[in-house]
A and B are shown apart, each in its own frame.
Chain A
Amino acid sequence: MNKAVDLPDPLTMPLDAMDVSDPRLLELDAWRPFFARLREEDPVHYQAESPFGPFWSVTRFEDIVAVDSDHEAFSSEPTIVIGDLIDEIPFEMFIAMDPPRHDVQRRAAQPVVAPQNLAEMEGLIRSRVVAILEALPVGETFDWVEKVSVNLTTQMLATLFDFPFEERHKLTYWSDIAAGSPEIAGGDVTPEERLAGLTECLETFTRIWHERKGREDAFDLISLLQRDPNTADMVDRPMEFLGNLALLIVGGNDTTRNSATGGVLALNQNPAEYDKLRANPGLIPSMVSEIIRWQTPLAHMRRTAKRDIEFRGKQIRQGDKVVMWYLSGNRDESAIENADQFIIDRKNPRHHISFGFGVHRCMGNRLAEMQLRILWEEIMQRFSLVEVMAEPERVRSNFVRGYKALPVRLHRL
């Protein structure tokens, strides 16, 4: 079955006819030549027509850093994905706010993922990782996405929110539907399903909020929001509350989940790198950064021009959508040597764009790195090989670069 036959040839088609918002580019893993061509021929490219309306594509590393850093010219409001908000659910979240409102809300949530807090959580995370790995079948084929990546990140989310542990699968479900609608990112969740699911998410967390009030010593996200005077009444603003929940759930879920899968895939596609890792597990921290770059779990972030601005010789008009393609920036040879290759002992592995830059830079980056580091430390203690048995099934989206399934088989040390 070759689903890729529907896509036009990225090397010969007219640039104007290229649609980089097509969610099949990620689903079919066909995106590389499209973005390579944009980086080469028209790095700040205006696409006049798409299912999401016209938009600019910024595809080079340095240009993305410039746009991401300039929140005076490039606003994160009203939303940070290509597709505009749908009317039924007018989310408000700090990732889609400009300073100063953004700063106030982010500061309230930041302590939960600050390194000091993480150091205390490391033991708990490690014990959960060990339990997950010990329960895996050895020598038979199973789905790594379901049994490891989803399981791990869902448990982590439940910990961060202090969410009822036995109901934690709901967090994953809400994350999937929050980021998966066709209007927003080209996904396949229906509006009815999305509305029903997010309504349940809001109701559940509103109940938890009221039950939890007044816990002075707790460091879960809900308690932190309650204790900060700037967000103490957030529950009374349901769209803001829901928006921030969705942000923290998606932010803590999709990203790490897909990097936890992507690492297995990358090592299987690059056996020499797997050999390096076996010879020197001390490379794990540097490999984690490389996995996050190579995977680029969020393919883009969008800004909206606040005013007319000339950028790299192009005239961007007030109100234009400006899409920063992180997955392209991470493959930009002018910023990253051998950018298409997966190299676990790169000279400067932290110099990647997956976390974004500027005031919206990923808040949970150290938590993500820690989870992945612990995962690989414990994998290497147990298994000589996590063998990929078939091609992964990928998510249809122009925003989340992820996996639905990856069949693997474990080999003991």
Chain B
Amino acid sequence: MPKITFIDHTDASCTIEAEVGKSLMQNAIDNGVAGIDADCGGACACGTCHVFVEPEWLQACGEAGAMEEAMLGMRPDRTGMSRLSCQIQVSDAHDGMVLRLPEFQM
């Protein structure tokens, strides 16, 4: 099970053992990671599972699709590392991955 670490805006971190094949968002919800709302339940339609992927892990997360781009485009706090965690399927390649959480989901 790949270990994935979430760091919130206060620098508090939380490491989970993620389940391969499920989305990063679902893994975060299942493990009670605070700061991921996921209002739409994983349909890439609300933008409330926003995470910042540490640069060295961006490639392992693949490219954002058109819908994800559109939803991220609505976020004032978007950066080059922004992704929606519901659109990232966890694989063994993510073992050790580090993500940061925004101060707010919106």
Contact = CB atoms under 8 A, between A and B. Distances in A.
Interface of A: 65, 68-69, 71, 99, 103, 106-107, 110-111, 114-116, 348, 350-352, 355, 357-359, 361, 365-366
B71 interface: yes
Contacts of A99: 70
B106 interface: yes
B39 A359 contact: no
Contact of A366 (B38, B46, B106): B106
Contacts of A361: 45-47, 74
Q: How would you classify the secondary structure of chain A's contact residues: helix, strand, loop or mixed?
A: helix
Interface residues of B, number: 21
B106 A358 contact: no
A71 B70 contact: yes
Contacts, number: 58
B70 A65 contact: no
A103 B74 contact: yes
A115 B45 contact: no
6 contacts: A103-B73, A107-B74, A110-B74, A355-B39, A359-B71, A361-B46
Contacts of A348: 41
A351 B74 contact: no
B19 interface: no
A69 B74 CA distance: 14
A351 B37 CA distance: 9
Given A103-B73, A357-B45, A359-B71, A366 B40 contact: no
B37 A350 contact: yes
B26 to A, nearest CB: 13
Interface in B21-47: 37-41, 43-47
A358 B103 contact: no
Given A110-B76, A365-B106, A68 B41 contact: no
Contact of B43 (A106, A114, A357, A365): A357
B71 A351 contact: no
B74 A115 contact: no
B39 A350 contact: yes
Given A350-B37, A350-B39, A116 B104 contact: yes
B60 interface: no
B62 to A, nearest CB: 20
B45 A358 contact: yes
